[in-house]
Structures are given as structure tokens and as C-alpha cells.
Copies of this chain bind each other. A is one copy, B any other.
Amino acid sequence: MKEKHLFYADSTSIAQGVLSEEESRHALKALRVKPGEIIWLTDGNGTFHEARVTETDKRNCWFQTERTLPDTPRWKGRIRIAVAPTKNADRTEWLLEKATEIGVDEFILLKCAHAERKSVNRERLERIAISAMKQSYKASKPVITEMTAFDDFLQMLAPDTQRLIAHCHEADDKDPDSFDLTPAASVFLGDIVEPDADTVVAIGPEGDFSPEEVEKALKNGFRAVSLGESRLRTETAALVAVHTMSLIKRRH
């Protein structure tokens, strides 16, 4: 039995065409695909394409889609995460890969007052999302919304979006000189995620949200949440938020 493999093709060539150089190489060298065989493709827009290989040569694999099949939704509502890119780009890329495997609809990159990195390598992020989508046999690629100013982020959300924010500002009554080990008291994310809603969780950057950003978010319908009792790095917090949402919103 052959390794199951999901190929990617962009939406302009998914009905019929030729696999990309990299995908053709994998099909021909690793999987030894021959004309007449069936392969599966997706363009990341929610549908699997069952296609027949029509022709191959040393470097190219041509195909023709015969049947399409919608991906089975694994969760209800929409899972969206908003986070500033980390100082170390690897950590954001890792987060995108893992969030895509677990399941996320939109990955919003924020410009924040206390975040050091102001830009990302969009092309690289797209490649990582496509690779993780294929790896986890999904037909939907998360939407990557690039470098959105915090104020624009607050305005871009539909009125019925459930809005949550995780930040580390401590309650005013804590002793600033103590080594206080508990996070700022607030509601636990898992206890208030609405299973069917479009939910967005904004995660504080490495320098945290500024007090002004938190205040603006709260004025725009956001509610502060905790992600549990542990102090987490930015990218860990974002992944924990995605996984917590996926557990509450799961269909099975």
C-alpha cells in the first residue's frame, strides 16, 4: 500500500494541469506514480480533488481532476488567533505549523506597541501553512492576515465575533516586590469559548500589550481571559489558545 499523500495545486490549475516542480519530484521519485493512477490534491480552499494522472515524464506529472469532495469540518464556528510576530522568526513559523496541524481558520499578525518585529516573510509563512495542511490531510489552508495595526484589528472584526484577549498585566492589588506565581486573575479561556461562534483570541507579544492596547480592546468588546496557571511564552500561549478552542469547538 502506498503512502497516502495530499498534493497541493493552486486554484488556477487544480481542475487539470501539471504538478509543481517539487510536487512532481515527490510524485515521481518517492511515490513512483504512473499514468492512470489516482492522486489526491487540494488548493487549500476546503475541497479535496481526486485526479487521474494523465501523463508523466522525467520531471513532470500531469493530472485531470475527476471528482471533488468537501473536507469534513472538524470543528464548529471559526478559530482565529491574533498575535504579534516573535523576535525570533522561527517561533512564529513553528506556531503557524502547529496551529495549522491542530486546526485554525485565521492567523492574524499584529503590529503592537511593545513588539520588536514589524514584518514577516509572507511567502515563507504561506509555504509552511501549505506544508502543514498537507501533512495533516486538511483541505483548508488558514488565512494569513499580515501585519495588521492593532487599531485596524479591532475594527475589522464582525459584530458577532467572540473577542478574547490574553495579557499579563497584573491586578493593581498585587505586591510588586513579591515573587508572585499566579497569573493575573481572570476567566479561564476554556470556560467561556462559545462552541459555535467565530472566536478570536488576541495574545500579548513578548513585551505584552501596552495598557492602552488592553484598554482599547476592552472598550471594543474584548474580554480578558487566562490560558491556565502557567506562565507561557507568546508562541506557546497562542498554541494553547488554539488547542483549547479546538477542544471546545470539536464536532466529535
Contacts and interface: CB of A to CB of B under 8 A. Distances in A.
A188 B250 CA distance: 11
A179 to B, nearest CB: 5
Interface stretch (A18-26, A113-121, A135-143, A195-203): A135-143
Nearest to A251: B229
Interface in A212-246: 228-233, 236, 239-240, 243-244, 246
User: Could you say which interface size class chain A belongs to?
Assistant: 35 or more
A88 interface: no
A12 interface: no
Interface in A68-123: 71-72, 74, 94, 98, 101-103
10 contacts: A1-B176, A48-B179, A72-B182, A98-B236, A102-B228, A135-B233, A137-B231, A228-B246, A229-B252, A244-B247
A36 to B, nearest CB: 14
Contact of A252 (B137, B188, B236): B188
A232 B102 contact: yes
A4 B231 CA distance: 12
Interface in A17-59: 40, 48, 50
Nearest to A226: B252
Given A137-B181, A252-B188, A239 B98 contact: yes
A13 to B, nearest CB: 20
